[in-house]
Chains A and B, each alone.
Chain A
């Protein structure tokens, strides 16, 4: 199996979804519980791959460094955002390379992002709250040509759900349910 991905099964799945779009609908969810201070615990909810349920028994914690009033018990939400973005681009890159018959030796994506906390703090009206820019460098070794890798990089970003979610406007719809403290 090239890159530990069965191309035959990938091809069969793509063709299955082409004929039966319901099989290509993925439903995800996570729950985040406040633990203490800036620390929160995320747990995956069961996922649906098409109409089929998959148990997802994973949890992790996020925290802020002490300088930001936390205890540094885990990666912070910005790091987790970059991790989710980069891991998704990685899946797309490796799947694309495999489909094209490229044997990869190593792939590393190095991310950097800078944000101005004055936005979060409400100190400056014209400072963006979020990352104005996310920079990354992809380091690849494998038997593809430089042209193939360039094209693959472009296609990986174009087909990465998380990259596309970050690049494009996305509706964030939420509500709050308030439970009063009983005396």
Chain B
């Protein structure tokens, strides 16, 4: 009888049985993965990892790169049934909601880039966030989170949590004393965004890690605004990192995806939530995300170069009140940004003189940036918080989180800086001459 191939991670095997023993004789220990093949890349640079990690050439045809495994289900064999019985079904291919080689390829790439043992991709950032949060809370749980969270995450805590008998206290992510004071006996997690939207606060992650440890809590961070070339929160002691992969990770504004990265122990606890809530990522979307990730490092360098030049230009323009870019000395968190961020990103927030009307006019005069929400794409995207991301808030609520009239949210793409500067120059000059403008 020929030995049948194993469909999955061959390094994952059942605990061996020692009849008459007790559970201390079970010998299966936790390890990184699940991965298609051994592919150690620890000593490699970010761009090498982005290109090669997780990408396994097709062993049957020699085709270079990960094939698109557009299959919903997989051939079951004796070995697969055994994996389910023994409780390591995550390490085998069974059904695409459980796992698919296209997902595994991009998960291995993302885990390698984040320095994580394991990762799971989801059909959206919110699917990733919901599964990660729900994996780490229990009946009656409480969460302490930032008051200026992304709206989708805010809705999870504000709309869904009370229906599930859980609660959240939202506090200013700068105010470490308030964060600590908000911790209750039933608090299980701290949830923060490493760089906030839209005022680009750089959160004091080492302090949050310290608070979480002292109070026996898990710390989950959303690192969408700081992909791995910028920050690797797991290295700072964070428990789990989530991303909307629709932004910098994919980088081309052409798919919706999310990811959770972290230790195998915690990611294995999230996997059943993926199965139950169902936000699995389609193999074709995995292919697009994997392809986008290969240029993550060089894209980030281009975003940073153009954003830095444009932010410096905006700071000098008389029609601009204020510019927020963490890598500029004028940003209130510049010192922390230099400490925690390896490089800048494409996100620049600025305030035009003349308030929201002037900001609206500015967008209409711009030719290159697309007037659209989202960020992290190769094309510059521009929007105003007052009528998009923070439209449900009152002017006062917006002001409380630093969104004053005239606030413009800009995600600088990889266009040439001189073209962006010329475009902003003409648009700002046009609104400066408008009647009533400052």
List A residues at the B interface (Cβ < 8 Å): 1-2, 5-12, 14-16, 18, 45-46, 48, 51-58, 95-96, 99-101, 148, 151, 155, 159
Contacts and interface: CB of A to CB of B under 8 A. Distances in A.
B186 interface: yes
A1 B85 CA distance: 4
B22 A155 contact: yes
A98 to B, nearest CB: 9
A27 to B, nearest CB: 9
A15 B26 contact: yes
Could you say which of A8, A46, A57, A100 has the most chain B C-beta atoms within 10 Å of its C-beta?
A: A8
B29 interface: yes
A153 to B, nearest CB: 13
Contacts of A2: 85-87
A7 B87 contact: yes
Contact of A8 (B24, B87, B186, B218): B87
User: What 9 A-B pairs have minimum CB-CB distances, sorted nearest first?
Assistant: A57-B140, A6-B87, A11-B26, A11-B15, A8-B88, A11-B28, A15-B29, A55-B141, A12-B30
17 contacts: A8-B14, A8-B86, A9-B268, A10-B23, A10-B87, A11-B29, A12-B30, A12-B265, A14-B23, A55-B139, A56-B138, A58-B139, A99-B21, A100-B21, A155-B22, A159-B22, A159-B23
Nearest to A101: B17
Contacts of B87: 1-2, 5-10
Contacts of A56: 138-140
B30 A151 contact: no
Nearest to B217: A53
B185 A45 contact: yes
B17 to A, nearest CB: 5
B308 interface: no
A148 to B, nearest CB: 8
A44 to B, nearest CB: 9
A45 B186 CA distance: 8
Contacts, number: 103
A57 B30 contact: no
Interface size band for B: 35 or more
B156 interface: no
B60 interface: no
B26 A16 contact: no
Contacts of B265: 12, 16
A15 B23 contact: no
A16 to B, nearest CB: 6
Could you say which of B17, B22, B84, B165 has the most chain A C-beta atoms within 10 Å of its C-beta?
A: B22
B211 to A, nearest CB: 13
Nearest to B25: A99
Contacts of A7: 14-15, 26, 28, 86-87
B435 interface: no
A95 B216 CA distance: 27
A151 B20 contact: yes
Given A95-B23, A151-B20, A159-B22, A54 B138 contact: yes
B294 interface: no
A55 B86 CA distance: 28
Contact of A57 (B24, B28, B186): B186
Contact of B142 (A6, A9, A55, A159): A55
A52 B218 contact: yes
A100 B22 CA distance: 8
B55 interface: no
Contacts of B23: 10-11, 14, 95-96, 99, 159
Given A9-B268, A54-B138, A96 B15 contact: no
B84 A54 contact: no
Given A7-B87, A9-B87, A57-B140, A15 B30 contact: yes
Nearest to A158: B22
Contacts of B25: 99
B196 interface: no
Contacts of B216: 48, 51-53
A14 B370 CA distance: 54
B317 interface: no
Nearest to A151: B20
B76 to A, nearest CB: 16
A100 B88 CA distance: 16
B28 A54 contact: no
A55 B186 contact: yes
Contacts of B185: 45-46
Could you say which of A5, A95, A100, A101 has the most chain B C-beta atoms within 10 Å of its C-beta?
A: A100
